[in-house]
Amino acid sequence: MARKFFVGGNFKMNGSRASIKKIVEDLNDADLPSDVGMEVVIAPPALYIHCAKELLKNPEIKVSAQNAFPKPSGAYTGEIAAPQIKDAGADWVILGHSERRTINKESDDFVAEKTAHALENGLGVILCIGELLEERDTGMTLVVCNRQLDAVIDKVKDWSNIVIAYEPVWAIGTGLAATPEDAQSTHSEIRHYLAEKLGEDQASKIRILYGGSVNGKNAKSFNACPDIDGYLVGGASLKPEFIEIIKSRE
């Protein structure tokens, strides 16, 4: 069975009610592919999850949160719980993004704990993994990715509601991007590792997205890669070219 192509848009800490309304209305008006087995997910800041959900008219487009705390409620000022995310209308959550691993010092174990909790509460998880520039330069790409995966593998056995986003940190927001050949090679190695840990059947069904500065100009160049199942888009998801990226699969 072919894996369903997936395009995610991570708005990060950007946007206002007016700008997100415009993005959603543009998606509503776009002639998006409907018969090619595609899934589109947008991740606005938490304040605008409900707004985005209410404005969306295309049932094929889902909403994601950008983070979740691994407790259902409690005295955790400033955090957002998985049940609250569901209540606001979102179906997904992004976890393990490099900005949270580096800026917020989130450990592999903490990301894994959040992943298990989100899944238990009915959310799909976009699990981000990836290496820093110095790790890439010293040949540590797969060591880092496998370590990040191992933490989740220790806590989660059913990966049917996890989408992996391979995001080379050196390519996020820099304008740099791996070549399609390099990205495919890394994705293939990640899938091979998952097969060793989870079995061939489960690994063959897990979608692995590329998330290194994907834009309207380079998206099509990755489409022929058999282990690249879509994109997690950052800054370009705030621009009209996000629709170009979605339609690049046509």
Which residues are catalytically annotated? 97, 167
Distance CA 157, CA 152 (A): 9
The token duo for 110 is: 């903490």
Distance CA 10, CA 6 (A): 13
Distance CA 176, CA 58 (A): 32
Residue 7's nearest CA partner among 250, 176, 183, 245 is 245
10 Å Cβ neighbour count for 184?
A: 18
Give the number of residues written for the chain: 250
Mutual orientation of helices 180-198 and 141-153 as an angle, nearest 10°? Answer: 40
Helix (H) or strand (E) holding 24: helix 17-29
Residue 143's nearest CA partner among 183, 103, 189 is 189
The token duo for 221 is: 């160049």
